[in-house]
Amino acid sequence: MAGRRMIPLLVLAAAFLAAAAAGAGSNSKSSVVFELIHWERPTWTELARNDRERMAFISSRGRRRAAETGTARARARAKPSKAAPASEAFAMPLSSGAYTGTGQYFVRFRVGTPAQPFLLVADTGSDLTWVKCLRPAAADEPAFEAGYGYGAPAPGVSSPLPAPSSSSPPPHGRVFRPDDSRTWAPIPCSSETCTASLPFSLAACPTPGSPCAYDYRYKDGSAARGTVGTDSATIALSGTGRGAAAAAASSRRQQRRAKLRGVVLGCTTSYNGDSFVASDGVLSLGYSNLSFASRAAGRFGGRFSYCLVDHLAPRNATSYLTFGPNPALAPAARTACAGTPAAVPGARQTPLLLDHRLRPFYAVTVNGISVDGELLKIPRLVWDIEKGGGTILDSGTSLTVLASPAYRVVVAALSKKLAGLPRVTMDPFEYCYNWTSPSTGEDLAVPVPDLALHLAGSARLQPPAKSYVIDAAPGVKCIGVQEGEWPGVSVIGNILQQEHLWEFDIKNRRLRFMRSRCTQ
């Protein structure tokens, strides 16, 4: 799943067709919120290794996208669902998965009729939503042999991965049973959705009515296999003006529920790799016609937002994944100029780049990076998608990864400011420091230099010091940035994103963000 031991799986994301909301009754001021969840600390070595696997996935996907012709890209032909009122939204609890030894964030998700609950990885790099599944294989179902997914090399780029061994979901774990859902409908392998819109589907199609099968491979050797269908997701609508705490309370009271029908869902019946151990599957938040985020955002105002609590926050610390208007970003008043929304104090805005070469990832334009107010001399081509660079935000990568030319300049500037501290060695970081006073045993009062990412539109991301000079061990702090390949994209990971509220406005192609503790 997106990075960490769950990494590549998220990457399979499929889609959620936001459709009719059942029971959208009275009060129109409602929102949907997914609670984001957190847990026990993974090792930095583990996180870095998972991030490297994630970067291999991102690189291979970029090569695959670059090899595609612009005219051959298919579009899903789903029926547009009726849009919800502009004030309506929904939110889901979201929390850190550190307690499982991963660097991902988990969201609670209910699918099927009757609804079955699951804990999924929230992945902005996935375009297939899938869950671990238990059902007998159909006689006309294709064998899982020589398929590949986004995580595999593009044809002609390198040799295919060897066929992985398979294992089935444990009977005692949470698994989806499609035969128990009245709304589950398999997608035929002869359908356009299977043949043109699911690039990870298998070519084998024994009969026109056989289920559409997928074999998703990842760079780390893990894989997921199963069939694709559609089902309904159950969401709880809540008021947009009451904040996350009120949203959680109203959700517990089960005030208003709605069904999102036609959600494209992967039923994973066989998989291998450590990526799938800690969660029940993946919630696709990537930019794709099939992803849950695109479909749900299309139904609820064309946008979604999330706020990531500190990745080492207590296990019960939760925030929310929201589709539709987020009350924290809703202006209290409008300007006199054509009803333009007033700016929210502290909020920044930059264009959201939805470039086909980086899909399903969301990209932004970086104009530069500064340390203590001094703009660093980084080659501009590092930030240019046309030149093989670019920058994406990825909830599935933990540590921020900078392409080599940018990494060298940034760590040199930061380490110069910290030169008075004794250096120590600690994998996987290049620059670590003993931050403990030899006389008192307390942390030294050494100021951490200010780091800022300058984005298009005069927006600046100024993360807290703990997001880039991180606590790696008792008394030890490290520059928590990793070096990436060049040419290659740079990645703003979830640790650098923590304690910020991020709104992905797909409809208007803009990204808004602001500092927040993420809990209310």
Instruction: Give the integer Cα–Cα distance in Å for 172 and 228.
Output: 23
Question: Using an 8 Å Cβ cutoff, are 318 and 520 in contact?
Answer: no
277-286 burial: b if 16+ Cβ within 10 Å, else e:
ebbbbbbbbb
Is residue 394 annotated as part of the catalytic site, yes or no? yes
Query: What residues pair up with 368 in beta bridges, in sequence order?
Result: 454
150-187 burial: b if 16+ Cβ within 10 Å, else e:
bbbbbeeeeeebeebeeeebeeeebbbebeebebbebb
Task: Give all strands of the β-sheet with 481-484 in edge-to-edge order.
Answer: 362-364, 391-393, 490-492, 400-403, 481-484
Cis peptide preceding 428, ω within 30 of 0: yes
For CA atoms 103, 129, 199, 142, the dihedral sign is positive
Three-state secondary-structure class, residue 515: strand
Pairing status of strand 185-186 against strand 223-237: antiparallel
User: Residue 325 — φ and ψ, nearest 5°?
Assistant: -65, 135
Name the amino acid, one letter, at 306. Y
Instruction: Give the integer Cα–Cα distance in Å for 380 and 358.
Output: 18
List C-alpha distances in Å: 87 to 7, 237, 334, 476: 34, 11, 15, 47
* 58 CB-side CA count, 13 A: 38
Instruction: Give the integer Cα–Cα distance in Å for 332 and 338.
Output: 16
Q: Where are the alpha helices (DSSP H) in 358-445?
A: 404-417
E-strand ranges in 114-173 read 116-123, 130-132
Is residue 443 annotated as part of the catalytic site, yes or no? no
Q: Which of 51, 310, 394, 505 is catalytic?
A: 394
Instruction: Give the integer Cα–Cα distance in Å for 55 and 45.
Output: 15
Instruction: Give the integer Cα–Cα distance in Å for 182 and 508.
Output: 36
Three-state secondary-structure class, residue 63: helix
Query: What residues pair up with 93 in beta bridges, in sequence order?
Result: 320
Please give the distance of CA 125 from its chain centroid, rounded to a whole number: 5
Q: Which of 51, 123, 231, 280 is catalytic?
A: 123
Name the amino acid, one letter, at 300. F
Please give the distance of CA 207 from its chain centroid, rounded to a whole number: 35
Q: Catalytic amino acids?
A: 123, 394
